[in-house]
A and B are shown apart, each in its own frame.
Chain A
Amino acid sequence: MSAAKGRPAKAAGKRLNIGAVRSSFAPWNDPAAVPLVRFEGVSKRFGDHTAVNDVSLDIYPGEFFALLGPSGCGKTTLMRMLAGFETPDAGRITLGGEDLAGIPPHRRPVNMMFQSYALFPHLSVEQNVAFGLKQEGMPKAEIAARVVEMLDLVKLKPFARRKPDQLSGGQKQRVALARAIARKPKMLLLDEPLGALDKKLREETQFELMDLQVELGMTFLIVTHDQEEAMVMADRIALMREGEIAQIGRPEEVYETPANRYVAEFLGDVNLFEAKVSAIEHPMARLAAAEATDGFYVLDDDCPPAGSAVSLAVRPEKMRISLDPPPAGTHNVLTGEIWDIGYTGDWTNYIVELPGERLIRVARANASRFVDRPIGWDDKVWVTFDADAGVVLEQ
């Protein structure tokens, strides 16, 4: 299976955000589109702890939606409320227009893939997959056919008669997946589905899950703490923090235009500069900051009026590093000394110390194998970035 199969071609032409997966698919921008699942003002408390606080969220048919956040942010609780294992204290959850309140888990048309996989140890692989179909009272011949179809789909046919503890981690994950989709639910819930797999397998499985989702035309809701997983697979991400939603958007939206400092810092690395808006010269804005003697010169998108205190967020990979000073008149120039170097093969991360013991991070893709003179420890360097590289965040 290749990642591109079944996916619309990347949109070309006008200047777009980087990323742009399935850019023709955006029901959330269509006022006529009807969401499959609606969370409306949902809250859940456990004793004194508020796990989910007044969350409203729409998930559209055919969407691959990710709930992303650190552990304890309420993402799993939100999913378990949809599956029926927790009851909201306030608010409403509807699925296909039907209020789910009072409907027990076994009567909800969603299926869940558990973090621990929760395979039935006393049943073989095929019996595990058949379990949900038997509950429906499906005729035996039909069950057998569906089980074969599902095991084919996850490439586990030769293992049909094995017990779960005779399988590897990756195979268990596939059985759990086959079992959860066997009933062809309206929606598949995946709780940290790749958490137990090693890195290589995890990457492969990410693409397989994406293909599978398109192939089945099923709506997927995934809960994960792994930002890469969410970014790669999801159409939209809801980034959660302490029971609330910090931002919802496409992966490239939340990464490139974070709504606040929390989102900017949670997703990837970021350099934050405390600054003050000194002048708006539409479409540009000038910011005064301690790190830059000439100030910063950036796009004035969403920039508050002159005099406001802001943070300028610039990702390390959007900065350039050089041993030579940039030509005169270049904006956004920082000077400093190399503090530390982290070489990861594909990237090199430079930690640069600016005057005043301020450290920033600059990442450079190692696009060529050789350079005239490598940047070394204690070298004096110039760091620059483009006017559209940073995002102005209100404080």
Chain B
Amino acid sequence: MRRGPSPFNLVSMTVGFAFLYLPILLLVIWSFNASKLVTVWGGFSTKWYGTLFQNDQLMAAAWVTIRVGLISATLATVLGTLAAVALTRHGAFRGRTLFSGMSYAPLVMPEVIMGLSLLLLFVALGIDRGILTVTLAHTTLTMAYVTVVVQSRLATFDRSLEEAAQDLGATPTRAFWQVTLPNILPAVLAGWMLAFTLSLDDLVIASFTSGPGSTTLPMRIYSQVRLGVSPEINAVCTLLIGAVTIGVICWSIGMKWRERTATPA
């Protein structure tokens, strides 16, 4: 009997992974290029990482992106979780289908349209464009994703746990905090991660809703690339990839650990 993957599987796997990761790998390799010319290999060097931290514009943009990401992901998680709870827990209220359809709309709405409509709204309300408007816009964008993730968890969540909590004297609010939330927490955190990642790499909506002093990292990278790719950009992208990878690894270790502690000894 043959063991291991068949040649066909092996080939398709290789091609698939190459398709996904080759560009990223190239970018990481070029970020260690000593030459200033992006397409000519001049030996190994980490100097671009050094100059990166002296590039005030890039650092400012990174700082903006992180702040926007943290705040908007947190806001979106709170709102998205509340929406998911309302959609799964309040039975068939009037207009429920409409409400759930509307809360999913940002998933399929072209980002250009969302960005433009948000811009019009902020202008109409007379809100100066800046970090606040980008944060609000990203909250709008990512909330729907959180709702989807949390709602799928709530759908499989045993309703009688909440009833048991209430039966034992907990008000509906306390039942939510003490029983529902701890049990759906993995989904809520996954929703937060998703929201943070989406905010981190959004370019379109940020372009519409940001103002002076609130340029995000993707916007900065995009505008610099138009003037020519500098090795610094490769370095900053590598750092971003590194951060995301570490996040994913921590997450999966955390999930494994949870599973292990949950299984019978």
Contact = CB atoms under 8 A, between A and B. Distances in A.
A126 to B, nearest CB: 14
A104 B265 CA distance: 39
A354 B167 CA distance: 55
Interface stretch (B96-104, B120-128, B136-144, B156-164): B156-164
A286 interface: no
Contacts of B27: none
A131 B170 CA distance: 9
Contacts of A119: 164
Interface string B227-265: 000000000000000000000000000000000011111
Contacts of A199: none
B168 A166 contact: no
B167 A106 contact: yes
A118 B164 contact: yes
A307 B71 CA distance: 86
Contacts of A84: 166-167
A118 B169 CA distance: 15
Interface residues of A, number: 28
Given A116-B158, A165-B262, A166-B264, A106 B170 contact: yes
Given A105-B167, A120-B165, A183-B169, A135 B183 contact: no
B182 interface: yes
Contacts of B174: 135
A131 B168 contact: yes
A165 B167 contact: no
Interface residues of B, number: 24
Given A114-B160, A122-B183, A165 B166 contact: no
B24 interface: no
Nearest to A182: B168
Contacts of A177: none
Contacts of A361: none
B57 interface: no
B179 interface: yes
Nearest to A130: B168
B262 A114 contact: no
B46 interface: no
A114 B161 CA distance: 9
B45 interface: no
Nearest to B159: A118
Nearest to B261: A163
Contacts of A106: 166-172, 175
A293 B175 CA distance: 68
A349 B167 CA distance: 46
Given A165-B264, A166-B264, A166-B265, A118 B166 contact: no
Contacts of B160: 114-116, 118
Nearest to B262: A165
Nearest to B163: A85
Interface string A131-169: 110011000000000000000000000000001011000
A135 B169 contact: yes
A326 interface: no
Contacts of A105: 163, 166-167
A104 B169 CA distance: 10
Nearest to B162: A118
A114 B162 CA distance: 11
B182 A136 contact: no
* Chain A CB within 10 Å, residue with most, of B172, B179, B263: B179
Interface of B: 158, 160-161, 163-172, 174-175, 178-179, 182-183, 261-265
Q: Which 7 A-B pairs have the closest CB atoms?
A: A132-B168, A135-B169, A118-B164, A118-B160, A105-B166, A122-B182, A166-B264
7 contacts: A104-B171, A105-B163, A106-B171, A112-B167, A116-B160, A120-B165, A135-B168
Interface of A: 83-85, 104-107, 110-112, 114-116, 118-122, 131-132, 135-136, 163, 165-166, 179-180, 183
